[in-house]
Copies of this chain bind each other. A is one copy, B any other.
Amino acid sequence: MTETTETLEHRLSRIHLALEQEHLEKVDDVIADLEPAEVALLLESLPPNERIRLWERVPQEVDGEVLLHVHDEVRSTLIDDMDHAEIVAATSGLDTTDLAEIFEDLPQLVAEDMLRSMDELQRTRLQETLAFEEDSAGRLMRTDTIAVRADVSLETVQRFLRWREAVPDNTHSLMVVDRNGLFMGVLSLARLVANDPEQAVADLMDPEVDSIQVAMKSRDVATLFQTHDLVSAPVVDDQGLLLGRIVIDDIVDVIREHSEQALMNMAGLDEEEDLFAPVLPSAKRRAVWLGINLLTAFLAAWVIGRFEDALDQLVALAVLMPIVASMGGIAGSQTLTLAIRGLALGQISRTNSNWLLRKEVGIAALNGLLWALVVAVLAVLWFGSLGIGVIIAAALVINMLAAGVAGIVIPLLLKRVGIDPALSGSVVLTTVTDVVGFMSFLGLATLFLL
């Protein structure tokens, strides 16, 4: 019975200290107790130098499993540190599904060599797996399924399993197929052990089980697992031929990655981004997003520039204008975030988007009026001008309404033209709220105050 109470943070301190003091046997002690996924997380939590030193202490027999569990970007840094023979050794123990996940990250020469070193069957299997689209059920599927026939008795199934002596990890059910390999249903081990051995598989199997088409997108597979509370599911081709099974531990990773994606994308980051990536590549990747933002910032500046006269005559306008833009930006990003989550879950469609739009306009009107009043009072007290108060209140209401509309319309439009709203929604949104904010405030001031 293992107690796993040590936190990652504590482990990190131990590893850090051990590496610093060159106590390599202590490093080995920490690693020895860990699952490959935990070693992967440790590696991802270390700066490049320490990461490589830890990686060199990871026993070769778990190298392959660890490589599987790290993010793509971290994986390439680890592979870069390995020589040809080490890579071949590390990956030789992996099954086809796992190997396929790593294969495309391998250096060309290593990949070719690996293909040559495989036997005919392994090579065919790998090539078949690689032929499926990335992010499809075919890539997630394992082929170590145990299939039985519907017309045999439970007794026969048990004899067969005892003859095999072992069943693959995480086998919770057997697949039932007909004479031609067509999928018929599932016999759970729970039913196998709890029923009279004389009964036939056909009487006890569940024929209503959801089977997954091999081309199904992995995010749809994940949704199916979540909504149907599945632990494993059969994968079939379009003729209904049983190809393999998908098990929930592979799906858990898909779920986590998809959930993280929106968070990272909204800041213009890749969800595979390595926290401890070196400065130069990180700076390069982020520069793109900053450049796009600079364009929109200049657009806002250009709008302000149209009102130089007003700013020249009334310096209070320059002082107060960022408030209008900022409140619109915050209100808009609240709406946008809700819409992005709703779109990711498939909850927003043409049938309810109008209702949502009206709701967000209603919220914007209420909050716009509330905070416009507060801002107006403060502005009047500060600058002693009733006009300024009225103008900023009006501009704030206008901008918050624009933010509410933009927060719904922008992600829907982006989605329709095939752009990920999480990735570009916020930059488009703040452009709208900045431009509308500055234009309404300075425009109204020009019309009514000068």
Contacts and interface: CB of A to CB of B under 8 A. Distances in A.
Query: What's the dominant secondary structure at chain A's contact region?
Result: helix
A263 to B, nearest CB: 4
A5 B315 CA distance: 61
30 contacts: A1-B183, A2-B208, A3-B211, A8-B346, A12-B351, A45-B345, A45-B349, A164-B194, A168-B190, A169-B190, A172-B190, A189-B190, A225-B252, A248-B252, A252-B255, A255-B256, A263-B263, A266-B337, A280-B366, A283-B362, A283-B367, A286-B334, A286-B367, A287-B371, A289-B334, A293-B330, A301-B322, A304-B322, A305-B319, A312-B312
A8 B248 contact: no
A125 interface: no
* List of 9 A-B pairs having minimum Cβ-Cβ separation, nearest first: A259-B259, A267-B337, A318-B318, A279-B362, A8-B346, A16-B351, A45-B347, A189-B189, A37-B227
Contacts of A194: 161-162, 164-167
A29 interface: no
B273 A338 contact: yes
A416 interface: no
B229 A269 contact: no
B322 A434 contact: yes
A94 B305 CA distance: 65
A366 B279 contact: yes
Given A224-B4, A294-B371, A304 B286 contact: no
A92 interface: no
B44 A347 contact: yes
A229 to B, nearest CB: 4
A46 interface: yes
Number of copies of this chain that the complex holds:
2
Interface size class of A (residues with CB under 8 A): 35 or more
Contacts of A264: 337, 341
Given A252-B226, A350-B13, A351-B13, A301 B286 contact: no
A298 B392 CA distance: 13
A318 to B, nearest CB: 4
Contact of A312 (B287, B290, B315): B315
Contact of A323 (B12, B278, B294): B294
A157 to B, nearest CB: 8
Contacts of A168: 190
Contacts of A346: 7-9, 41, 45
Interface string A281-305: 0110011011101101110110011
Interface of A: 1-5, 7-9, 12-13, 16-17, 35, 37-38, 41, 44-47, 158, 161-162, 164-172, 183-185, 189-190, 192-196, 207-211, 213, 224-231, 240, 248-249, 251-253, 255-256, 259-260, 262-264, 266-269, 273, 275-280, 282-283, 286-287, 289-291, 293-294, 296-298, 300-301, 304-305, 308, 311-312, 315, 317-323, 325-327, 330-331, 333-334, 336-338, 340-342, 345-352, 355-356, 359, 362-363, 366-367, 370-371, 374-375, 378, 382, 430, 434, 438
B334 A319 contact: no
Given A255-B256, A283-B363, 11 more contacts: A8-B346, A41-B346, A45-B349, A248-B249, A267-B334, A267-B337, A268-B330, A287-B370, A291-B374, A300-B322, A305-B319
Contact of A294 (B224, B282, B345, B374): B374
Contacts of A13: 349-351
Contacts of A311: 311, 315, 318-319
Contacts of A298: 323, 378
A227 B193 contact: no
Contact of A231 (B41, B170, B438): B170
A337 B276 contact: no
A56 to B, nearest CB: 18
A250 to B, nearest CB: 9
A335 B65 CA distance: 30
A149 to B, nearest CB: 17
Contacts of A323: 294, 297-298, 300-301
